[in-house]
Copies of this chain bind each other. A is one copy, B any other.
């Protein structure tokens, strides 16, 4: 089976390249009766769109989407929802000179190896523009989770290069995340991050970072043993985002140096009679199933592959050459990746929420 679909009970199939006719998504499995219009989706897309601030690519794309099926009289019908954005900002000339060059750490060569041909105008399906479809679908998932399940998600930039906030993830609000252009809820650290990204940009370079994901209100019991563990599906979802190199749930890699006696999360019963844990090294998941505690995860992004500095590489025929991007790129992908992390997390949770309902 090809790989352009994600989820089982809430299943999305994305399509489109940055320089074809359109980019979009078909969502199959959205329950009926959800109030839905374009205005529920557009704000999430605006968080993702290029040209939104001084530290993103200056390239402008409006990303205006339309819902073309699955909604009737303002409500979802339970049938497939198709959402699409027509492509506009086409500049084939920009790409003409890249036609025969293998850009380092892009997917040019691997697509060619896989398919025997490649769409050289803007990376084909490896284009970041594909994530527009994910964010649109994720916006619907977020709305459903909030209205029908009391689950909310917030993601934020925790680290850029070596600049890092130690803010308590459980305390972070969406408003705080949106209060600055780098999407770090810790305002003083945010300023350092912005300064670093501007410095990197001015040096015609790029920089990586880490996004923290937080899921509030997830009830105990979501997730499927043994392969479709909740955090395994979260991990896959995050690793499927362009530029992601690592994923952690709860204690993550720091668990490697811990002892069981300190890592284990002791149970207690709270005043309301709920089973709770005193610590949350688990990150809200045990045995692949949610515990009812906040779900906490981290996602590592590599520096953007497109840089303004000159790099050495080869042509398709193997001849050494050099490459220097002309500037319409993000020096740091993190601020615009926050809504994508949100979206993918929402897609995983809604899918397991609906799967859980079926299994009972």
Interface CB pairs A-B, < 8 A, 30: A1-B28, A2-B28, A4-B26, A13-B28, A21-B66, A68-B84, A78-B115, A79-B119, A104-B264, A105-B263, A107-B287, A110-B288, A111-B225, A113-B292, A114-B289, A125-B226, A160-B256, A206-B261, A227-B237, A227-B240, A232-B235, A232-B237, A233-B236, A235-B247, A245-B253, A248-B253, A259-B303, A263-B303, A266-B313, A354-B358
Whether A175 sits at the interface, judged by CB under 8 Å, is no
Q: Say whether B291 contacts A109, CB under 8 Å.
A: yes
Q: Say whether B107 contacts A161, CB under 8 Å.
A: no
Q: Say whether A67 contacts B21, CB under 8 Å.
A: yes
User: Which of B69, B113, B236, B285 interacts with A232 by CB under 8 Å?
Assistant: B236
Residues 170-224 of A at the B interface (beta carbon under 8 Å): 200, 205-210, 219-224
Whether A54 sits at the interface, judged by CB under 8 Å, is no
Residues 80-116 of A at the B interface (beta carbon under 8 Å): 80-82, 84, 102, 104-107, 109-111, 113-116
Interface size bucket, A side? 35 or more
Contacts of A110 in B (CB 8 A): 220-221, 223, 285-291
A285 to B356, CA, bound (A): 27
Whether A156 sits at the interface, judged by CB under 8 Å, is no
Whether A328 sits at the interface, judged by CB under 8 Å, is no
Contacts of A227 in B (CB 8 A): 3-6, 236-237, 240
A209 to B253, CA, bound (A): 8
A79 to B129, CA, bound (A): 15
Q: Say whether A3 contacts B257, CB under 8 Å.
A: no
Q: Say whether B21 contacts A69, CB under 8 Å.
A: yes
Q: Say whether B240 contacts A245, CB under 8 Å.
A: no
Residues 245-276 of A at the B interface (beta carbon under 8 Å): 245-253, 255-261, 263-269, 273, 275
Counting every copy of the chain, the complex holds: 4
Contacts of A313 in B (CB 8 A): 266-267
Q: Say whether B303 contacts A258, CB under 8 Å.
A: yes
User: Which of B26, B124, B260, B292 interacts with A305 by CB under 8 Å?
Assistant: B260
The interface stretch among A29-37, A43-51, A56-64, A138-146 is: A29-37
Q: From DSSP, what is the main secondary structure of chain A's interface residues?
A: mixed
Contacts of A264 in B (CB 8 A): 104-105, 305, 307, 311
Q: Say whether A302 contacts B26, CB under 8 Å.
A: no
User: Shortest distance in angstroms between A5's beta carbon and chain B's nearest beta carbon?
Assistant: 7
Q: Which of A82, A119, A304 counts the most B-chain CB atoms under 10 A from its CB?
A: A82
Q: Say whether A226 contacts B265, CB under 8 Å.
A: no
Q: Say whether B6 contacts A314, CB under 8 Å.
A: no
Q: Say whether A124 contacts B289, CB under 8 Å.
A: no
User: Shortest distance in angstroms between A342's beta carbon and chain B's nearest beta carbon?
Assistant: 17
